[in-house]
Amino acid sequence: MIADKQTYLRSLVIELTKTWPQNRFINLVFHGHSVPAGYFLTPYVNSYGSYPYILHKKLKERFPFAIINPIVTAIGGENSVQGAKRFDSDVLCHKPDLLTIDYGLNDRYVDINACVLAWQEMIEKALAKNIPVILLTPTLDNSYYKQDANWELLSKHREQIKKLADIYNVGLVDSFQVFLDYINNGGALEDLLSQSNHPSEKGHALVAQELYRYFPI
């Protein structure tokens, strides 16, 4: 079962409400590819317009006494198999209080079975250290218009990520569905993209809002 938004991060929310001298620093680690890394129109990186920092701003507005460190370990062009190889050295070393994983767009170019193993490895290592995890399905790209083989692969990876969240009882942000909902409600995909495969700030804001739902009032 996918983790419940109202309860999954309850203990973390309690930590965020503490004031000095009872408070401590909170590390939010965002692992993945170019999207959480903040790439907009490559090679331009708009860190403060990306969902890790939009979420950080929203949390700081709500928890003004908290010390929140957004740590982005994402690398543009990387896939989950590569990300799993550096997981110990680049991710776990930060002792995350929350970990997000976002590789769906680039995983299309790697064997899906290898990707599943890589996601499982990262999830299991995090859970073994009692780190809460939120998985993200891919944001949409221009393959939406063609509904071609790339689109079918994106859809398959989205379903696999959802399945992993269900198996491991971790959090899920279905960015894929959030973008589809925007389109189905009369919006244009162009509003959410800065280039063919990278979200715009508006697209990032939709993802950040879904992440924020895991921090219930």
Distance CA 84, CA 217 (A): 33
Q: Per residue in 4-63, pLDDT tens?
A: 999 999 999 999 999 999 999 999 999 999 999 999 999 999 999 999 999 999 999 999
Can you give the CATH number for the domain in which 30 is found? 3.40.50.1110
- Within 10 angstroms of residue 204's Cβ, the number of other Cβ atoms is 28
- Is residue 217 in a domain? no
- Is residue 26 in a domain? yes
DSSP 45: B
Residue 217: pLDDT above 90? no
- Is residue 68 in a domain? yes
Pairing state between β 25-32 and 98-102: parallel
Q: What number is the average pLDDT over the span 142-159?
A: 96
Q: Per residue in 91-103, pLDDT tens?
A: 999 999 999 999 9
Average pLDDT across the chain, whole number: 97
Q: What number is the average pLDDT over the span 66-70?
A: 98
- Is residue 4 in a domain? no
Distance CA 124, CA 120 (A): 6
Residue 157: pLDDT above 90? yes
Q: Could you tell me what percent of the chain has a pLDDT over 70?
A: 100
- Is residue 110 in a domain? yes
Residue 117: pLDDT above 90? yes
Residue 158: pLDDT above 90? yes
Number of domains the chain contains: 1
The residue range of the domain holding 127 is 10-212
- Is residue 3 in a domain? no
Structure tokens given for 132: 């809460």
Distance CA 62, CA 157 (A): 34
- Is residue 97 in a domain? yes
- Is residue 74 in a domain? yes
pLDDT at 200: 98
